[in-house]
Structure 1
Amino acid sequence: MNFRLVFKVTGKTLMVGAMAMLIPMLVSLLYQEDPTPFLITIPLMMVVGFLLSLLKSDDHFFTREGFFAVALIWLLMGAFGALPFYFSGYFPTYIDCFFESVSGFTTTGSSILTAVEPLPYGILFWRSFTHWLGGMGVLILTIALLPSLGARTLHLMKAESPGPVVSKLVPKSSQSSKILYGIYCALTAIQVICLRLAGMPWYDSIVHAFATAGTGGFSTKNLSIAAYGSPAIEIIITIFMLLFSVNFSLYFLILCGKVRQALRSDELRFFLAVVAISVVLITVNISPLYNTLGESIRHAAFQVGTVISTTGFASTDFNLWPEFSRVLLVLLMFIGACAGSTGGAIKCSRVLLLFKCIHREIRQVIHPRAVNVVKLDGKVMDENSLRSVHIFFAAYMLITLGATLLVSVDNYSFGTTFTAVVTCIGNIGPGLEMVGPMGNFSIFSGFSKLVLSMCMIIGRLEILPILVLFSGNAWKRS
Structure 2
Amino acid sequence: MSEENTITSYLDRKVSQYYRHNILMLSESVKLADACTVLKKKDVDEIIVVDDAYNPVGIVTDEDILIKLGESFVNPFKTNLADIMIFPLISIKKEQTLSNALEIMRENKIRKLAVMSDSNLVVGMIYLDTIVNLVKKSMVKQQKESTLWGVIWNLGVVLQFTGVLMFIPGIVATLLNEPLVATGIYLMSVLLIVSGFFMNSYGEKQPITLRGTAILVFSSFIILVLFGMIPHFFVIQFDSSDPLELFANVFFESSSGFSTAGYSLLPNPEELPKSFIFYRGYAQFVGGLSFIYLIVTAFYSEKRINVMKGFFTGNVPRLKELFAIITIIFSIYAIVIALLLFYFSGGDILVDFAIAFSSVSTGGFSPDSKMFQEMTTPEYVVIIGGMILGALPFGFHYAFVKTKFLSISLTKEVTTYFCILIVFCIVFVFSMDANWYDSVFNMISASTTTGFSAATMNNLNPVAFTVIIMAMILGGCGFSTAGGIKILRLKQLVKVRYIFNTKFANISESDRKDIISAIIILAPLLVAPLLIAAYMTSIGYDFQNAFFDGVSAITNTGHSAGTISFALDPFITIVFGIMMILGKAEVILLAYILVPKLMK
Shorter-chain TM-score tier: 0.7 to 0.9
Counterpart CA distance in 2 for 1:323 and 1:400 is: 17
Aligned residue for 1:462?
586
Indicate the larger mover: 126-135 or 344-353. Answer: 344-353
Q: Secondary structure at the match of 1:312?
A: coil
Q: CA 1:4–1:267 in structure 2 vs 1: closer, same or farther (change >3 Å)?
A: closer
1:410-468 Cα offsets, whole Å, 9 max, x none, are: 54221232122111110000232x23xxxx43232111111111111111111133455
Indicate the larger mover: 328-337 or 347-356. Answer: 347-356
Report if the CA contact (8 A) 2:278-2:351 is conserved: no
1:48-105 Cα offsets, whole Å, 9 max, x none, are: 3333332154736322222212211210110000110012242351221111111111
Counterpart CA distance in 2 for 1:138 and 1:319 is: 30
Indicate the larger mover: 57-66 or 114-123. Answer: 57-66
Report if the CA contact (8 A) 1:410-1:444 is conserved: no
Aligned residue for 2:166?
21
Please say if 1:94 is aligned against 2:239: no
Indicate the larger mover: 305-314 or 47-56. Answer: 47-56
Report if the CA contact (8 A) 1:111-1:442 is conserved: no
Counterpart CA distance in 2 for 1:273 and 1:139 is: 24
Q: How does 1:268-417 map to 2 (within 5 A)?
A: 268-286=414-432, 289=433, 296-319=435-458, 322-355=461-494, 358=497, 384-405=513-534, 410-417=539-546
1:317 CA drift (Å): 2.2
**Match of residue 238, structure 1, among 384, 399, 403:** 384
Aligned residue for 1:211?
358
Which amino acid in 2 is paired with 1:447? F
Please say if 1:430 is aligned against 2:559: yes
1:313-356 Cα offsets, whole Å, 9 max, x none, are: 12222436644323321221111111122111111222354246
Report if the CA contact (8 A) 1:110-1:441 is conserved: no
Aligned residue for 1:149?
none
Q: CA 1:451–1:410 in structure 2 vs 1: closer, same or farther (change >3 Å)?
A: farther
Q: CA 1:405–1:388 in structure 2 vs 1: closer, same or farther (change >3 Å)?
A: same
Aligned residue for 2:273?
120
Aligned residue for 1:48?
195
Normalising by structure 1, we get a TM-score of 0.79
Report if the CA contact (8 A) 1:37-1:84 is conserved: yes
1:297-327 Cα offsets, whole Å, 9 max, x none, are: 2112101110000001122224366443233
Q: Mind listing any 5+ residue stretches in structure 2 that lack a counterpart?
A: 1-143, 241-245, 309-315
Which amino acid in 1 is paired with 2:276? I
**Match of residue 157, structure 1, among 259, 283, 298:** 298
1:207 CA drift (Å): 0.7
Report if the CA contact (8 A) 1:283-1:297 is conserved: yes
Normalising by structure 2, we get a TM-score of 0.64
Q: CA 1:251–1:24 in structure 2 vs 1: closer, same or farther (change >3 Å)?
A: closer
Which amino acid in 1 is paired with 2:221? W
Report if the CA contact (8 A) 2:221-2:581 is conserved: yes
Report if the CA contact (8 A) 1:319-1:326 is conserved: no
1:387-406 Cα offsets, whole Å, 9 max, x none, are: 43343223443444445456
Q: Secondary structure at the match of 1:431?
A: coil
Report if the CA contact (8 A) 2:288-2:361 is conserved: yes
Report if the CA contact (8 A) 1:333-1:422 is conserved: yes
Q: CA 1:267–1:139 in structure 2 vs 1: closer, same or farther (change >3 Å)?
A: closer
Counterpart CA distance in 2 for 1:138 and 1:51 is: 22
Q: CA 1:135–1:201 in structure 2 vs 1: closer, same or farther (change >3 Å)?
A: same
Q: Secondary structure at the match of 1:72?
A: helix
Please say if 1:188 is aligned against 2:327: no
Aligned residue for 1:62?
209
Q: Report the number of matched residues.
A: 431
1:183 CA drift (Å): 2.6
Q: Secondary structure at the match of 1:268?
A: helix
Q: CA 1:410–1:275 in structure 2 vs 1: closer, same or farther (change >3 Å)?
A: same
Q: CA RMSD in A?
A: 3.4
1:14 CA drift (Å): 2.3
Aligned sequence identity (%): 21
Which amino acid in 1 is paired with 2:366? S
Aligned residue for 2:374?
228
Counterpart CA distance in 2 for 1:177 and 1:64 is: 22
1:115 CA drift (Å): 1.6
Counterpart CA distance in 2 for 1:318 and 1:58 is: 47
Aligned residue for 1:443?
567
Report if the CA contact (8 A) 2:475-2:487 is conserved: yes
Report if the CA contact (8 A) 1:10-1:52 is conserved: yes
Q: CA 1:38–1:252 in structure 2 vs 1: closer, same or farther (change >3 Å)?
A: closer
Counterpart CA distance in 2 for 1:411 and 1:393 is: 28
Indicate the larger mover: 102-111 or 59-68. Answer: 59-68
Indicate the larger mover: 2-11 or 229-238. Answer: 2-11
Q: CA 1:390–1:464 in structure 2 vs 1: closer, same or farther (change >3 Å)?
A: closer
1:177 CA drift (Å): 4.5
Counterpart CA distance in 1 for 2:302 and 2:469 is: 25
Q: CA 1:94–1:459 in structure 2 vs 1: closer, same or farther (change >3 Å)?
A: same
Counterpart CA distance in 1 for 2:408 and 2:381 is: 28
1:19 CA drift (Å): 2.0
Which amino acid in 2 is paired with 1:211? S
Which amino acid in 1 is paired with 2:391? S
Q: CA 1:124–1:10 in structure 2 vs 1: closer, same or farther (change >3 Å)?
A: same
Counterpart CA distance in 1 for 2:425 and 2:159 is: 42
Counterpart CA distance in 1 for 2:160 and 2:457 is: 41
1:260 CA drift (Å): 9.9
User: Which structure has the greater CA radius of gyration?
Assistant: 2
Q: CA 1:128–1:166 in structure 2 vs 1: closer, same or farther (change >3 Å)?
A: farther
Counterpart CA distance in 2 for 1:176 and 1:46 is: 19
Report if the CA contact (8 A) 1:235-1:298 is conserved: no
Q: Mind listing any 5+ residue stretches in structure 1 that lack a counterpart?
A: 144-152, 291-295, 374-380
Aligned residue for 1:293?
none
